[in-house]
Amino acid sequence: MKVLIPVIASLFLFIGCSQKIVPGKVAKNKNTISAKEFEQKEILPKKEEVLPPVTKEQVVEEKIIPEEEIVEENKITQPVAISSKPYKITLKTKKFAFSDTGFFNRYEKSIELQVFTMGKLALDLKISLDEDDICVDQLCNTKHGFNQTFLTGEYPDKLVENVLQSKPIFGGKHLRKTTNGFMQKIITNSYAIKYKVWPGNVYFKDSVNHIMIKLKKLPK
C-alpha cells in the first residue's frame, strides 16, 4: 500500500500538468493566424522603382535609310565619254613602245588613250584638262613629272595632251598651215621635233630623244 501511494501521486501530477486536448480543435500558436484573418489582412502592393524622366538629349532616334539610298551611295559612278573614236596607235617612249589598235576617249574634263594588244588593255593613259594630273595605268604624276619619266623634261607640260587633241605645241612656234592641216618643225640641242596634223591623222617624232606618237583614225 505504501508503494502505490507515490505512484498514484505521480500520475495525478502528470495528468494535471498536461495540456487538455479537445477533439476537433487544433492548438494555436501565438504567432499563427487563421485563414480568415489572413484573408482580411491588407496586402500592400510591392513598391515599384521610379526611374527619372528621360530628357530629349538622351533620346536617340534611329534613322531608317531606304534601301534605294543605300544602293545609290554604294554605286560608283563613272564619267560618260563625250566621244570615243578608234585609232591605229603607235607610241614609243623611254619606258614603253606600242603599235596596235585602241581608242581615244574625250570626257568633259579629261581625255583618255587606250591601247589594246591581242584584245587586252595594254596601256591606259588619262590626262586631266583642268588639273595637273596625268595617269598611266592608274599610276598618276604631274604632267612635268610624266615628261621627265617617259619623254624629256625639256618639253612643255601640256605637250602630250595637245598632240592627242591635234592642237599646236610650244605655243604655235614655227607653225605652218598646210592644205588640210598644219605642221611644225622645232629643232634645238635638246630635241628635233617634226609634228604634222591632217584629218584623221597625227604624227609626232623627236629624232633626238627617240620619241614617236602616231594616231590614224580607223573606220567604226
Q: What is the CATH number of the domain that holds 98?
A: 2.50.20.10
Dist. CA 126–CA 124, nearest whole Å = 6
Q: In a 3-state reduction of DSSP, which class is residue 11?
A: helix
Q: What pLDDT sits at residue 167?
A: 97
In a domain, 27, yes or no: no
**In contact, 86 and 102? CB cutoff 8 Å:** yes
In a domain, 23, yes or no: no
Greater confidence, 209 or 55?
209
Dist. CA 194–CA 207, nearest whole Å = 8
In a domain, 105, yes or no: yes
Mean pLDDT of 107-115: 95
Banded model confidence at residue 36, pLDDT cuts 50, 70, 90:
low
In a domain, 156, yes or no: yes
Mean pLDDT of 15-19: 48
In a domain, 163, yes or no: yes
Q: How many domains does the chain have?
A: 1
Return the CA Rg of the chain. 52
In a domain, 7, yes or no: no
In a domain, 20, yes or no: no
Dist. CA 182–CA 204, nearest whole Å = 12
DSSP string, 166-192: T--SGGGTTEEE-SSSEEEEEE-SS-E
Q: What pLDDT sits at residue 70?
A: 47
Q: What pLDDT sits at residue 220?
A: 75
> Which residue segment(s) compose the domain that 159 sits in?
83-217
pLDDT tens for residues 37-60?
545 555 555 556 666 665 555 544
Mean pLDDT of 102-129: 95
Dist. CA 117–CA 124, nearest whole Å = 12
Dist. CA 166–CA 181, nearest whole Å = 9
- pLDDT surpassing 70 at residue 75: no
All three cell numbers of 122, joined, read 595594254
pLDDT tens for residues 5-15?
554 555 544 44
